[in-house]
């Protein structure tokens, strides 16, 4: 008799707190497993309980150290496949290498596609993720991909704050469509920052603000924050354009070593992110607010497990 109706959630070492929070939402225990490295730097994984014909979800964002966490995810899926799991879903709350989604220079890879192939080959039957850097990454997979968005979580937070004369600002044209969706949720207008990236070193040059922002509060919006340079440049450009106060929101706080200090010293009244990736004490700062995506992920996992619509979560 099939036991696919029994739900099992496991976690790698990338973000065990998120996995525990998801399990708390679902009212189940986190699955028993271990993952560590031998002295020769080889990763070892062992699943500590019977998962034959079970519906298995592995929560593992491929955040820094990206290669280690990606390899751990692949090996965990292989272990589950060889343990005869009924179905394996990779829950990748942050998709590393998502920025390398196209050939924008000669003789460069499309690493986001390579990672998709690796995940499929390792044994994933489907993928659950949040706010991919580029929508076409879904098409890199030959298995089902459910892409969630943190927009409802972020928009509800700012709607409850009741900020007056608010305008949503996309930090570049690439995020403008999502910014329009976010603005519709809040019922506010949209502006865009025009910028030019200057090379492969994560630096960008802000050019100008497109839209009516003078005398208003601005809420900048992006999918992730890495160095913080783009976001801080956007805040300065908005203040120069006559904005009275600036707030920031993003899904993935992929903070580099310089980002927390840069954001803490920035003009932002508040920087709001989610917990798709773990943050250390060193990455925290006074004007940072972190919202949980565990209920969103947990509800999506429940719906996938029960064969119900995930899209209805956003209707």
State the Cα angle at 251 between 167 and 213, rounded to 5°: 15
In terms of phi and psi (left: phi > 0; alpha: psi -120 to 50; beta: otherwise), the region of 142 is alpha
Q: Which of 8, 102, 161, 195 is catalytic?
A: 195
Does the active-site annotation cover 195? Answer: yes
For β-strands 204-210 and 190-197, DSSP reports them as: antiparallel
| CA dist list (Å): 300 to 26, 91, 148, 177, 195 | 10, 10, 8, 23, 35
20, burial (CB in 10 Å: exposed 0-12, middle 13-18, buried 19+): middle
For β-strands 166-170 and 217-225, DSSP reports them as: parallel
| Other C-beta atoms lying within 10 Å of the C-beta of residue 221 | 27
Which residues carry out catalysis?
195
């Amino acid at each position: 008799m099939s036991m696919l109706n029994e739900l099992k959630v496991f976690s790698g070492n990338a973000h065990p707190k998120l996995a525990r929070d998801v399990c708390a939402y679902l009212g189940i225990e986190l699955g028993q497993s271990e993952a560590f490295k031998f002295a020769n730097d080889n990763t070892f994984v062992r699943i500590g309980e019977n998962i034959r014909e079970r519906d298995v979800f592995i929560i593992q964002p491929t955040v820094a150290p990206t290669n280690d966490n990606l390899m751990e995810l692949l090996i965990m899926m292989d272990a589950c496949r060889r343990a005869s799991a009924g179905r394996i879903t990779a829950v990748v709350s942050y998709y590393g290498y998502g920025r390398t989604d196209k050939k924008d220079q000669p003789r460069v890879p499309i690493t986001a596609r390579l990672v998709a192939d690796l995940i499929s080959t390792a044994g994933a039957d489907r993928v659950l993720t949040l706010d991919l850097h580029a929508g076409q990454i879904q098409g890199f997979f030959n298995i089902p991909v459910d892409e969630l968005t943190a927009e409802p979580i972020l928009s509800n937070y700012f709607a409850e704050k009741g900020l007056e004369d608010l305008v949503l600002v996309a930090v570049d044209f690439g995020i403008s469509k999502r910014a329009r969706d976010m603005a519709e949720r809040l019922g506010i207008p949209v502006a865009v920052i025009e910028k030019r990236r200057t090379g492969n070193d994560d630096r960008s040059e802000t050019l100008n603000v497109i839209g009516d922002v003078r005398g208003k509060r601005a809420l900048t919006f992006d999918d992730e924050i890495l160095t913080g340079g783009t976001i801080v440049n956007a805040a300065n450009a908005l203040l120069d354009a006559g904005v009275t106060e600036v707030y920031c929101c993003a899904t993935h706080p992929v903070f580099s070593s310089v980002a927390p200090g840069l954001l803490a010293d920035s003009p932002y009244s508040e920087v709001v992110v989610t917990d798709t990736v773990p943050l250390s004490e060193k990455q925290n700062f006074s004007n940072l607010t972190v919202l949980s995506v565990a209920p969103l992920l947990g509800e999506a996992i429940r719906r996938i497990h029960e064969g119900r619509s995930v899209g209805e979560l956003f209707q």
